[in-house]
């Protein structure tokens, strides 16, 4: 892809269903090129029935005009893509960008969200902004993120990004490669992080669950733990588009088995101490079908 760094790498890890990726972010030139060559000519025709999410993160520009992680760059992306994006993602958790994860610390996160949300609120269209966090967080980090997200009235959390850990179960020649680990080896860690954040936010913030989801049962487990929406990456790259229909079919069967009419009724029901988002108004954009 011309929008990616030439140093971007990706490795499949045999047997375990894992995947190690070393991609990083688009430069501002990459964002601009994607907008000009893909979004402008095609508009919504290339994804007529789906939602378009856009990552606000920008890698250092070749010309030094837009520093990586600068608030200026994120505001610029917001302004340019606000007419086509259904939601924006602040990804402060990629393990492939040195120093990025420090933005999950309370003071830096507060400053970042203030700048982004102020810019978003100044635009004619109020586009939801979600924060993507790491699975490799301490309890204190999780508590701080939950408190900041609630205070800033963030639209949602995406849980979780890839992990820097390497379980003993990994096999294959690429098991020690650098980069974020995704797929099956990430599943339990991502699930535990989601469960903790749902409790810490008291079910008041929409959660998008991802990380190691490859079956309807995986998706259902995330939903019952507090996710209103699920995303897939590694299983889609490994199994292709048919995996989406399979997950949907299996999820429907599980909902019917448990006497639930829709996904919304299942959100958070395994976290019984926390009210389900089914009792709250959720932006229609993010309701799982």
Catalytic residues: 94
What is the Cα–Cα distance from 201 to 232, expressed in whole angstroms?
A: 23
Cα four-point dihedral sign 150, 153, 155, 158: negative
CA–CA gap between residue 41 and residue 167 (Å, rounded): 44
Could you give the 3-state DSSP secondary structure of residue 2? coil
Give the integer Cα–Cα distance in Å for 184 and 37. 34
For residue 82, how many other CB atoms are within 10 A of its CB? 17
d(CA 216, CA 247): 4
Non-local (6+) Cβ contacts of 141 within 8 A are 104, 105
Q: What are the strands of the beta sheet with 87-91, ordered from one edge?
A: 53-55, 87-91, 129-133, 156-159, 206-209, 229-230
SS3 annotation, 242-264: HHHHHHHHHHHHHHHHCCCCCHH
Q: List the one residue out of 284, 113, 278 whose CA is nearest residue 203.
A: 278
Other Cβ atoms within 10 Å of 63 Cβ, number:
9
Question: Which three-class secondary structure string do you get for 169-189?
Answer: CCCCCCCCCCCEEEEHHHHHH
Nearest Cα residue to 156 out of 51, 71, 228, 54: 228
């Amino acid at each position: 892809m011309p929008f990616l760094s030439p140093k971007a790498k990706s490795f499949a890890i045999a047997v375990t269903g894992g995947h190690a990726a070393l991609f990083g972010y688009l430069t501002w030139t990459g964002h601009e090129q994607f907008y000009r060559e893909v979004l402008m000519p095609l508009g919504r025709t290339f994804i007529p029935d789906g939602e378009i999410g856009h990552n606000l993160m920008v890698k250092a520009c070749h010309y030094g005009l837009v520093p990586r992680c600068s608030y200026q760059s994120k505001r610029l992306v917001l302004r340019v893509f606000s007419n086509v994006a259904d939601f924006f993602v602040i990804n402060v958790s990629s393990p492939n960008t040195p120093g990025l994860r420090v933005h999950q610390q309370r003071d830096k996160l507060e400053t970042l969200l203030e700048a982004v949300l102020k810019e978003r609120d100044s635009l004619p269209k109020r586009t939801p902004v979600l924060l993507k966090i790491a699975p490799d967080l301490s309890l204190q980090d999780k508590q701080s993120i939950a408190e900041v997200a609630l205070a800033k009235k963030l639209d949602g959390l995406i849980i979780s990004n890839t992990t820097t850990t390497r379980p003993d179960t990994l096999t294959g020649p690429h098991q020690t490669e650098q980069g974020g680990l995704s797929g099956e080896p990430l599943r339990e860690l991502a699930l535990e992080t989601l469960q903790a954040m749902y409790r810490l936010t008291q079910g008041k913030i929409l959660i998008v669950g991802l990380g190691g989801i490859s079956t309807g049962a995986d998706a259902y487990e995330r939903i019952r733990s507090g996710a209103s929406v699920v995303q897939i990456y590694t299983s889609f790259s490994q199994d292709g588009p048919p995996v989406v229909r399979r997950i949907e079919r299996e999820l429907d069967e599980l909902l019917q088995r448990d006497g639930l009419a829709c996904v919304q009724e299942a959100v958070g029901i395994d976290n019984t101490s926390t009210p389900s988002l089914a009792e709250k108004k959720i932006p229609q954009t993010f309701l799982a079908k």
